[in-house]
Amino acid sequence: MNPTSPMSRRGVLARMAAFTAAFTVPAWAFAEELTRTPAQTEGPFYPDHLPLDTDNDLLVVNESITPAVGTVTHLTGRILDAKGEPLKNALVEIWQCDNNGAYPHSKTGNLEKRDKKFQGFGRFMTGATGEYYFRTIKPVPYTGRCPHIHYKVKQAGKELLTTQCYIKGHPGNEKDGVYKGIRDAKARESVTIDFAPIKSSKIGEVAAKFDLVLGFTPEA
């Protein structure tokens, strides 16, 4: 793929199918190992004005031919209930700063340097397997925070969980107050994920997998 050309929506869906298929694991395989994803602060930069484009490809705004700056990241995972069963029709939202540390928010730091080619916010509705997929950039640090991506999970208009995920092994993690605020070691580990290089990629893409385990079952 030409790194200067955006991925087509059909291409995004194809990538989604490939990545989610590779990560599909039956619930029984880890039912006794589930750690509930800890809730974390929404922070001050949930978009105050949602972008016109809110799809799951954050690298391209609408039909722009110029992608955002940053390390292309294929972010996948599943939304699961407390028993490890997939949650269908869950709306997954993510938001993060761009490569310059600016959020899609009117009061963000570095507003004058904001990458207008970066969507900064995206949504994905899960199907029967609870899987989601986003194409975005690898998160970067900014003043006061280590790299992270914000998540919010909703269903039928109700907010179920707000949290964040982090880069495993990043030196800034242990200096980050929000990250260190997760006191339980297993809970902290559950939101700390690998951003692994894709060996076949010619443009340095990475892949990351983040499963979110909610503290309830649909019956509840």
Note the pLDDT tens digit of each residue in 9-64: 445 555 555 555 554 555 444 445 689 999 999 999 999 998 889 999 999 998 88
Q: Which domain does 140 fall in, by range?
A: 9-213
Is residue 3 assigned to a domain?
A: no
Report the domain count for the chain: 1
Residue 15: per-residue pLDDT: 59
Query: What is d(CA 137, CA 126) in angstroms, rounded to the nearest whole number?
Result: 21
Is residue 1 assigned to a domain?
A: no
Residue 64: per-residue pLDDT: 82
- The CATH number assigned to the domain holding 202 equals 2.60.130.10
Structure tokens belonging to residue 40: 């974390």
Is residue 218 assigned to a domain?
A: no
Query: What is d(CA 123, CA 43) in angstroms, rounded to the nearest whole number?
Result: 18
Query: What is d(CA 217, CA 202) in angstroms, rounded to the nearest whole number?
Result: 42
Is residue 92 assigned to a domain?
A: yes
User: 57 phi and psi, to 5 degrees?
Assistant: -110, 95
Q: What is the pTM of this model?
A: 0.85
Query: What is d(CA 131, CA 77) in angstroms, rounded to the nearest whole number?
Result: 6
Is residue 43 assigned to a domain?
A: yes
Is residue 183 assigned to a domain?
A: yes
102 contacts: CB under 8 Å, gap ≥ 6: 108, 109, 110, 111, 113, 114, 115
Nearest alpha carbon to residue 136 among 199, 55, 31: 55
Q: What CA–CA distances, in Å, run from 131 to 17, 78, 79, 188?
A: 10, 4, 6, 22
Contact by Cβ (8 Å): 109, 142 = yes
Is residue 127 assigned to a domain?
A: yes
- Is residue 63 exposed (0-12), middle (13-18) or buried (19+ Cβ within 10 Å)? exposed
Continuous segment of H or E residues that includes residue 18: helix 9-23
Structure tokens belonging to residue 42: 């929404």
User: For the chain, which residues score pLDDT lower than 70?
Assistant: 1-33, 216-220
Beta bridge partners of 176: none
Is residue 220 assigned to a domain?
A: no
CB atoms within 10 A of CB 29: 9
Query: What is d(CA 38, CA 112) in angstroms, rounded to the nearest whole number?
Result: 34
